[in-house]
């Protein structure tokens, strides 16, 4: 059965709410992993795990647990790349699906932006997060979840 994993440290609340509603409605095991305490709805389908503070602790906990076909929600492109390598599907909170076909391109763009920032050529982060991004995420997440559940059922 497909499971959903949320890299909770940087995931916007609105996205977590979308995922929690879907988990309850579709009865999908969903786990939020973060290095600090976070609230989750009471549901037999939703679990919260707190990991030690530290670089990539949540990522590593998810990587140890995911199985092929699971859905991972993260804004961390290198982590998404590793999840895809392990057979999971990855989506960022803005609704961009990472695939084996596009992850290397996303990673190269991320690395370039990071390098430009280190030279002071680029400042600031992504555009503000709003309703359009939540809707985009919701649409893509629903499609991925439907596809994952169909595969799991055979």
CATH code (residue 25): 3.40.50
First CA to last CA distance, the chain: 10
Q: What was the pLDDT predicted at 55?
A: 82
Mean pLDDT value across the chain: 90
Q: How confident is the model at residue 123 (pLDDT cuts 50, 70, 90)?
A: low
Instruction: Name the 3-class secondary structure at 34.
Output: strand
* φ and ψ of 48, to 5 deg: -120, 135
124 has a pLDDT exceeding 80? no
Per the DSSP assignment, residues forming a β-bridge with 141 are none
Q: How many domains does the chain have?
A: 1
* φ and ψ of 64, to 5 deg: -70, -25
| Both tokens assigned to 109 | 């763009």
In percent, how much of the chain has pLDDT > 90?
71
Q: What is the pTM of this model?
A: 0.88
Whole domain around residue 99: which residue ranges?
A: 4-153
pLDDT per position as a tens digit, 78-101: 999 999 999 999 999 999 999 999
In percent, how much of the chain has pLDDT > 70?
94
Q: For residue 29, what are the CA distances in angstroms to 60, 69, 79, 119?
A: 19, 13, 21, 43
């Amino acid at each position: 059965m497909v499971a959903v994993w949320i890299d909770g440290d940087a995931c916007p609340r609105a996205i977590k709410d979308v995922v929690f509603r879907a988990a309850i409605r579709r009865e999908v095991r969903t786990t939020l992993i973060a290095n600090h305490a976070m609230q989750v709805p009471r549901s037999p389908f939703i679990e919260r795990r707190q990991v030690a503070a530290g670089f990539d602790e949540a990522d590593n906990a998810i990587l140890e647990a995911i199985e092929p076909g699971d859905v991972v929600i993260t804004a961390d492109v290198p982590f998404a790349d590793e999840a895809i390598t392990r057979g999971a599907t990855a989506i960022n909170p803005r609704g961009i699906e990472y695939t084996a076909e596009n992850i290397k391109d996303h990673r190269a763009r991320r690395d370039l932006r990071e390098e430009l920032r280190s030279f002071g050529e680029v400042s600031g982060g992504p555009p503000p997060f709003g309703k359009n991004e939540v809707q985009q995420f919701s649409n893509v997440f629903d499609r991925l979840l439907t596809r994952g559940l169909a595969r799991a059922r055979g």
